[in-house]
Amino acid sequence: MPYPEIIKLIEDFKTFLTLKRYSKSSVDTYSSIVNGFFNFIKLSDYKLVNSKIIEKFLTKRVIDDKVSFSTQKQIIGSFKLFFNTFLNMNLEIDYLNPERHEKKLPNVLSQNEVKKIFENTPNLKHKTLLNAIYACGLRMEEVLNLKIQDIDSERMNLKIVNSKGNKDRYVPLSHKLLDLLRVYYKKYRPIDYVFEGQNGGKYSATSVRSIYKKAVKKTGINKKVTVHTLRHSYATHLIENGYDIRIIQELMGHSSIKTTQIYTHITEISRDKLVSPLDLI
């Protein structure tokens, strides 16, 4: 555990990020990375930190822990926020960013696999929550932050408030999901958030992961999938059904079209199933 002075500094950093309107998940991630760094270097004075010490820490994470390209960039981004923006130290650490881009494609589920996951989730609240993630392509934080007033059954959409990048967006509300939400509401009567814990307040992300993991295990799916895989699958299935990538970009809340384009590469796997126009005449 870091020294008390460092712990206090990290708490102040969390407050700083919150005031800068970073999302709770970003605040937790960045502060956790900084906490892990000081736990590794065991220094009580942050002023003794330099780029070489950060390089040593990052080398361990890359070689020993085999972190991904994106995690490496996230670590560097966290340090830039903490040391340069928060503490005004102006450390030169951009050279530690990977020089080439990682080209890993996310795993996706087939529509049949998604259906099996739902069938193996008997609890109504759990089933409705997982359905909402897939039906609307939501991030974990977005589904947990969803409030009752964000559901507009007249216009058939959901309002996603203050999402990643502090942006709001609307996503279409599935008729099947609306029917499920109505049955769910009559049984559980949530007060504020759509999905609440037993004692009120937002439902736990840890509980969602546990529910999903059990359902996946029951289906016998062997590939590595997470709750976020439902969001990846949503985008992929929309592309496979002919939706324009620009529309999908808006539905996913992506700032750049390049982020959305990754799903076009996933669908390339199914191109052997395409029929030539010649064979259709």
Catalytic center residues: 139, 164, 228, 231, 254, 263
Q: Which residue has the tokens 């503490």?
A: 87
- Beta-sheet strand order (sheet of 151-152): 151-152, 157-160, 169-172
Distance CA 68, CA 72 (A): 6
- The pair of structure tokens assigned to 111 is 């529509």
Q: Which residue has the tokens 């050279």?
A: 95
Distance CA 215, CA 229 (A): 13
Number of H helices, E strands in the chain: 12, 3
The helix/strand/coil state of 26 is helix
Distance CA 37, CA 57 (A): 7
Q: Which residue has the tokens 């002075």?
A: 5
- The pair of structure tokens assigned to 16 is 């700083």
242: left (phi over 0), alpha (psi -120 to 50) or beta: left
Distance CA 24, CA 47 (A): 27
- The pair of structure tokens assigned to 137 is 């392509």
* Nearest Cα to Cα of residue 181 among 194, 169, 197: 194
Which element (helix H / strand E) includes 245? helix 245-252
CB of 106 within 8 A of CB of 227?
no
